[in-house]
Chains A and B, each alone.
Chain A
Amino acid sequence: MSGDTTEDVAQAINSTVEQIWCGALGVPPGASEQTFLDLGGQSISAVLIATRLKDELGVGIEVDDLFDDPTLASLQEQVRLKYSARS
């Protein structure tokens, strides 16, 4: 993402996280106030989200973090923070 503004990077991260979240939980985009467990999160969804975040963004979010029951918005924030911490 070099050459993009900080805002562009943040947007791209948010979008990737939303895609991963919705894909794993089988929900359509847009409901960013519902939590992981609200949306029927299970072991499999936690593992999938954690794995994809690692593979696609190089960010380490654990299964435990998802069972802390974040909303999509709060997960996006965690991921943005970790992403900038690594670069």
Chain B
Amino acid sequence: MTISRTPETAAELSAVAPLSAHQQFLFMFNQGEEAGPFGPHYHIAAGWRVRGAVDVANLQAALDGVVIRHEALRTVIVRDAERPHQRICPPGRVRLEVLDRPEPQESLRDLRAQWALNEVEAGPFPLHDLPLLRAVLIRFAPDDAVLVLQAHHSAVDAWSLQILMRDVANLYAASSDFDVPELPEVAQYAEFARYQQELVAEDADREYWKSTLDGAQLLALPTDWPRSAGLPKASSWHRFTLSAETTTSVLTLARQTRSTPFIVLLAAYSAVVQRGYGQDDITVPTFSLGRGPQRFQESVGSFFNCLPLRVRLAGCASFREAILRARAACLGAYKHELLFGQVVQDSPEVAASLARDDRTLFVFQVERTLFSDTGTTVGDLTFTEIRRDISAPVGGDVPDGALWTLSIMAGGDTVGSLAVNSNRYDSVTAGAMVTDFCRTVTALVADPDAALPGFAGR
């Protein structure tokens, strides 16, 4: 992604923008083009079952259309200039691979869909060719296929990928002459970067974080091997499900406590850490959408911000009480959200745990999707989110940390993943963490008023 010369002409200057805060943050982990956030493994993908006969030419046009629409897909980060910046390039054709893999057994198609998605994620993203989006269409039958969208994660975050699928579906339907609403006006990522330059952190917000994070450290847990052992690194994805019964309990508890499912699950995860590691004071980093005002909600780019959520469980008698404490932490965080860089600048101690050789950061997030697992019809195609419960030894890169991701399905249960790096954990440890998490969460929500496992009557 490096262009070796700086912009010279006026026309070139207009296609240039400053780095966003997120890009500057990635820049700090720059390991060139072979590894790290600008390397070939830092990508993100999602897949959908598509029912209906797909016209490949129209699909190609729809994909090319979103590259025209969203500049982030054709923006390079100029790293070796005096002042690193973004450069927006003209639109180009999306690499669309069409694979015919007939599968007469309907019941096997779900499996094959997941394998296809895992296969895409195990490979490198051909980074040097713009645009930063590619697609794979795997056809099981003339009217049953899987569409995988994959993007470089430095340019596209999870919510952006959802927006892209919605936009592709819309453009496809429009090109087939269906009456679909026109896509809304969209603000470009470069505009967001410029908007961020004008932002000034409010004193009240800075004070909130300074006092809330006083004495806190981001959650980092012991690893099998230290970073300094220099073992080869690949990110493995361990997938699991929480039952419909447990999911219903989560949703019920959320309503009873006037919380979101994320708050309930955050409380559960905090209790898991308390029980497993004896920590009472847990500052869980999560990823927020990070998009700021309304006008960037439909934009494509990499916006997500790291938000520290300090949950203190000392003296916490029950899981229900833990939910209330997690709720307070979350509401305060949402109200006072600041860029992670600012928070760390004001409270440098909070990031001390990241420097430890014998521990790694654990991030916890709950994701939402735009097209659900129960199917959304646009024009003459029906898109269904692929339910992912098959693990992968190699998937998208997670730079230096571990990542829990949960997703509540419209169909009623919850799928999740724990992504860890092979240079820090072996798969037995990762599997044990997943089992422990599932068992503990299931028990907690089943009996939220029982004594918390870590509570010792203090």
A residues apposed to B, CB below 8 Å: 23, 37, 41-44, 46-48, 51-52, 62-64, 67-69
Contact of A63 among B262, B335, B368 (CB under 8 A): B335
Q: Jot down 27 A-B pairs with beta carbons below 8 A, ordered by A.
A: A23-B294, A37-B254, A37-B255, A37-B259, A37-B260, A41-B260, A42-B368, A43-B260, A43-B262, A43-B330, A43-B334, A44-B288, A44-B289, A47-B334, A47-B335, A47-B337, A48-B294, A48-B297, A52-B294, A62-B335, A63-B331, A63-B334, A63-B335, A64-B335, A67-B258, A67-B259, A67-B327
A68's partner among B255, B258, B260, B334 (CB-CB below 8 A) is B258
Complex CA gap A23/B337 in Å reads: 21
Chain B residues near A43: list those with CB within 8 A: 260, 262, 288, 330, 334
Shortest Cβ distance from B368 into A: residue: A42
Query: Smallest Cβ distance from B158 to chain A, in angstroms?
Result: 13
Q: How far is the CB of B414 from chain A (nearest CB, A)?
A: 15
A42 and B366 CA atoms in complex are apart in Å by: 11
Which residues in A have their C-beta under 8 angstroms from that of B232? none
CB-nearest residue of chain A relative to B254?
A37
Cβ of A42: which chain B residues have Cβ within 8 Å of it?
A: 260, 262, 368
A64, B331: Cβ atoms closer than 8 Å: yes
* Contact mask for chain B residues 269-310; partner A; CB cutoff 8 A; 1 contact, 0 none: 000000000000000000011010110010000000000000
Q: Which residue of B lies closest to A36 (CB)?
A: B258
Distance of A18 Cα from B234 Cα, bound (Å): 48
Cα-based distance from A67 to B293 in the complex (angstroms): 19
Which 8 pairs across A and B sit closest by C-beta, in order of nearness? A43-B334, A63-B335, A69-B258, A63-B334, A44-B289, A64-B331, A42-B260, A63-B331
Chain A residues in 8 Å Cβ range of B291: 44
Per the bound structure, the CA–CA distance linking A52 and B258 in Å amounts to: 22
Mark each residue of chain B from 2 to 36: 1 if its CB lies under 8 Å from any CB of chain A, else 0.
00000000000000000000000000000000000
Q: Closest residue of chain A to B294, judged by CB? A: A48
Across the interface, which residues of A come within 8 angstroms of B331, CB to CB? 63-64, 67
A51 touches B254 (CB 8 A): no
Residue picked from B259, B288, B297, B335, most chain A C-beta under 10 Å: B335
With known contacts A43-B288, A64-B335, A51–B293 Cβ distance under 8 A? yes
User: How long is the Cα–Cα vector from A23 to B184 in the complex, in angstroms?
Assistant: 13
A63–B288 CA distance with the chains assembled, in angstroms: 15
Q: How far is the CB of A34 from chain B (nearest CB, A)?
A: 12
Give Cα A30 to B14, complex, Å.
Answer: 44
Q: How distant is A21 from chain B, measured CB to nearest CB, in Å?
A: 13
- 1/0 contact string of B307-340 vs chain A (CB within 8 Å): 0000000000000000000010011001101000
Given contacts A43-B334, A64-B331, contact A51 B258 (CB under 8 A): no
The proximity string for B residues 342-378 relative to A, scoring 1 for CB distances below 8 Å and 0 otherwise, is 0000000000000000000000000010000000000
Name the A residues within 8 Å of B334 (CB-CB): 43, 46-47, 63
A61 and B259 alpha carbons, distance in the complex (Å): 18
Chain B residues positioned under 8 Å from A47 (CB to CB): 334-335, 337
**Chain B residues near A41 (CB-CB < 8 A):** 260
Complex-state Cα separation, A34 to B259, whole angstroms = 15
Interchain nearest-CB distance for B329 vs A (Å): 12
Q: B254 to chain A: which residues have CB within 8 Å?
A: 37
Q: Which residues of A contact B289 (CB under 8 A)?
A: 44
CA distance A23 to B330 in the complex (A): 23
B420 to chain A, nearest CB (A): 26
Q: Which residue of B lies closest to A47 (CB)?
A: B334
**Most A-side CB within 10 Å, residue of B255, B289, B294:** B294
